[in-house]
Structure 1
């Protein structure tokens, strides 16, 4: 018998530009065990999508609730928003 239920976090992942094209969606909710890290969220979205997104992710920057993420080991709170931002060109 299990004495404690596993904590689950829902994270809203928003894709921009080339990441949106690779994912095929602008936004999606990802559910994962909590506590979770940015790396955990990225692993989950890789499982949800084909290799096109997996190829884009290494070049992307990420914002967690509007704050730039430098360490992908950063813990992601439940109900957070993770923005996936590929490199942008232009002036």
Structure 2
């Protein structure tokens, strides 16, 4: 599956996107991402585990809120931290 990072999540991970084997659910993916990126790749960004509770997520372009959403290897999940500005 593809995971794409935006704004502060991109700064925290140091990558725009990564390919991973799909875990069973969105909740499992979030736990995996927190473990993979436990330290920030940037001095100016918080670590990803600190950002994830405030992030929004898109699953194949659709906003999701439940961790039980099933995932497959062909899916794309976007990690969207809160954005400022207008």
Q: TM-score, normalised by structure 2?
A: 0.84
- Point out where structure 2 has 5 or more consecutive residues left out of the alignment: 40-46
Q: Which has the larger radius of gyration?
A: 1
Q: TM-score, normalised by structure 1?
A: 0.80
CA root-mean-square deviation: 1.2
| Aligned mates of 1:49, 1:43 — CA distance in 2 | 10
Superposition misfits of 4+ residues, deviation over 3 angstroms = none
**After superposition, where does 1:47-58 map in structure 2 within 5 Å?**
47-51=35-39, 52-58=47-53
Cα separation, partners in 2 of 1:67 and 1:74, compared to 1, 3 Å: same
